[in-house]
Chains A and B, each alone.
Chain A
Amino acid sequence: GEDVEQSLFLSVREGDSSVINCTYTDSSSTYLYWYKQEPGAGLQLLTYIFSNMDMKQDQRLTVLLNKKDKHLSLRIADTQTGDSAIYFCAEAYSGGYQKVTFGIGTKLQVIP
């Protein structure tokens, strides 16, 4: 996670919006992802954004990318208790068989 940084913890009330932030160091990263991991479970791809995009919206999820500042954020609208999980930001380079580098993950706690 040294190339991708995230805050460790976020607590929000049910119904509020959550914003999870991430910074990455490699400007050649072409693909940026958000993964969700529930306790004891695998990693679930939530959404992704290409580096030539500024924003992507998918239902309750909005991804914002500031390429100049190498800052990525995930906004979850109307956060539900089922959104409680660890959210990993990840980056990858373009090309085939590339590996993905993960951040340390942000634990989102949703308070009923």
Chain B
Amino acid sequence: AAGVIQSPRHLIKEKRETATLKCYPIPRHDTVYWYQQGPGQDPQFLISFYEKMQSDKGSIPDRFSAQQFSDYHSELNMSSLELGDSALYFCASSWTATNYGYTFGSGTRLTVV
């Protein structure tokens, strides 16, 4: 069965650089969520999109932006990267007709040096 695909799996960037993370949800899922998980932390909600419109916003820094495209894939853009942005970034998708939990991707590990 198709899962949530995230790319890249690993990314190393220098401070003040820009990073773009991509997420391809499960086909027919209409909602995409982005989470950030720091070392030893629980996943923190960043932002979500429903039918390509931003539906909810969490603790996402102003340096970050995200969008969902017509093919439902989503991109998280992070600019002026800081050391503290080093984390695992998860994308998840769901079908709002059910609430049987999200399906998470394997994550992108971002390391800022």
Residues of A within 8 A of B (CB): 1, 30-31, 33, 35, 40-45, 48, 88, 92, 94, 96-105
Contact = CB atoms under 8 A, between A and B. Distances in A.
Q: How large is the interface on B (under 10, 10 to 19, 20 to 34, 35 or more residues)?
A: 20 to 34
B50 interface: yes
A12 to B, nearest CB: 21
Contacts of B48: 97, 99
Contact of A44 (B41, B43, B96, B104): B104
B101 A33 contact: yes
B17 to A, nearest CB: 24
Contacts of B41: 1, 104
A107 B102 CA distance: 21
A97 B55 contact: yes
A98 B45 contact: no
B109 to A, nearest CB: 8
Contacts of A105: 42
A43 B99 contact: no
Given A42-B90, A44-B104, A101 B99 contact: no
B45 A100 contact: yes
B56 A99 contact: yes
A52 to B, nearest CB: 13
Contact of A97 (B90, B96, B105): B96
B42 A1 contact: yes
A94 B103 CA distance: 17
22 contacts: A1-B41, A31-B99, A40-B109, A41-B107, A42-B90, A43-B102, A44-B104, A45-B101, A48-B99, A94-B99, A97-B31, A97-B48, A97-B96, A98-B56, A98-B99, A99-B58, A100-B102, A102-B42, A102-B43, A103-B42, A104-B41, A104-B42
